[in-house]
Amino acid sequence: MKPPSNPSRRLDVKRMLTNKYVQTFAATLTSEPIEKFVAQHKPPFRVEPKFDGERVFCLKNRSEVVLANRYKTVYDRDNLPQAFVEALMKAVKAKRVLLDGEFIALEGDLYGFLSARRREEKWKLGLVCFDLLELNGKSTKHYPLSKRRTMLEKIVRPNERIWLCKGKICHTIREIRETFQEAINKGFEGVVVKPLNLSYADKVWCKVKKLQSLDAVIMAAVKTPSSRGGQPYNSYLIGLYDKDGHLKPISKVSSGLGRQVKEIITKLVPLLKIREDKEHVYLEPRIVVEVAYHSVIKTGLRAPRMLRVRFDKPPAECTLDQ
């Protein structure tokens, strides 16, 4: 039987991970148009499928395992299923290693585990490893992706829970688009495009996701510190009509549209105002906006973005069954 882990060492590992690594190592995922991204960077590119999970940094230090997300939420032996920990220890062939990856649910709901943060074995969790940031105390962040990937493949031996993220080398926009479509056809939410010649320290990746869109009615302008200070309203509550003709709120949306358009909408707010409370100014249902989003979740739309104002569409046609 192995001796119990040293609590002080575990706390030290947590501190190192959350304070040193999470803020300084996170490569940035940009959503700019892929054409612009490719024009700015030299090929070839590694194109990997985008998983619908929780991005985490995984630090294995001898017998200790600590995972943390970008918001410094920490998972360790106290709240990780034992089967996951054992699979990770078996897969990683190094005494000390820092990985960048995606926490996924192989069965069931990942977000149920993330909310509960309990180690019951009912949570069948996995880790998709896609980058190597440190190996046995030596930083690898200044190596090009091509070298980091080679090193990663040497120290991670995939098993039923720990995977190496697969990818395809692309040289042109056409190849990237074909790889993107292949990923969508397989059920992924998109791809991540990474220049092979750049280091992790350059912090440049590009995510390309499949978007859905709908037309919705602006139900209210959301009050924020900036709007209270005289700036244009930047956030709105949007809704759709149900089969009985009742307008139902579906989500809040802040991103998208230009400042000029938001200034125009802000000028319309007092003209369309019905009532207001501490958080909202409720409006007559006159303004229709096209909204792009990634998926529907319990709290509304995931990553909604306003694309344009639809002057040509009657609000009554913005229905739940569109």
Q: Give percent of the chain above pLDDT 70.
A: 85
Name the least confident of 91-105, 166-180, 202-216, 257-271.
202-216
Give residue 11's pLDDT.
45
What pLDDT, in 10s, does the model give residues 24-76? 555 666 656 788 889 999 999 999 999 888 888 999 988 889 888 876 788 88
Q: Check if the beta carbon of residue 135 is closer than 8 Å to that of residue 97.
A: yes
DSSP 19: I
Average pLDDT estimate for 259-279 = 95
Q: Distances in Å between the alpha carbon of 263 and those of 234, 258, 269? A: 9, 9, 10
Give the span between the Cα atoms of 321 and 243, in whole angstroms. Answer: 8
Q: Is the pLDDT of residue 253 over 80?
A: yes
Which token pair is 88?
Answer: 């990770």
As a whole number, mean pLDDT of residues 257-261 equals 89
pLDDT band at 121 (very low <50, low <70, confident <90, very high): low
Two structure tokens written together for 37 = 């991204």
Q: What is the pLDDT of residue 160?
A: 94
User: Considering the entire predicted model, what is its pTM?
Assistant: 0.65
**How far is it, in rounded angstroms, from Cα 78 to Cα 206?**
34
Q: Give the dihedral sign, CA 310/316/320/322.
A: negative
Q: State the residue for tokens 């190849």.
A: 175
- The domains located in the chain, with CATH, are 7-209 (3.30.470.30), 212-317 (2.40.50.140)
pLDDT reported for residue 4: 44
Structure tokens at 118: 């309990």
| pLDDT value at residue 229 | 87
Q: Please count the CA atoms within 13 angstroms of the CA of 121 that sit on its side-chain side.
A: 4
| 240 pLDDT higher than 60 | yes
Strand 124-135 with 74-75, pairing: unpaired
For the chain, state the CA radius of gyration.
23
pLDDT mean over 9-38: 61
Beta-carbon contacts of residue 88 (< 8 Å; ≥ 6 apart): 58, 60, 65, 127, 161, 162
Q: Beta 305-309 vs 255-256: how paired, if at all?
A: parallel
**Spatial CA neighbour of 184 closest among 65, 50, 70:** 50
In angstroms, the CA 184 to CA 182 distance is 5
Q: Is 144 helix (H, G, I), strand (E, B) or coil?
A: strand
* Residue 78, pLDDT score: 82
* Average pLDDT, rounded, for the chain: 86
Pair 238, 250: CB distance under 8 Å: yes
Q: How many CA atoms lie within 13 A of 246 on its CB side?
A: 4
242, 322 contact by CB (below 8 A): no
Pair 261, 309: CB distance under 8 Å:
yes
Considering Cα of 279, then 285, then 287, then 289, what sign does the dihedral take? positive
CB atoms within 10 A of CB 138: 7
Across 120-131, average pLDDT: 83
The answer to whether 44 touches 170, Cβ cutoff 8 Å, is yes
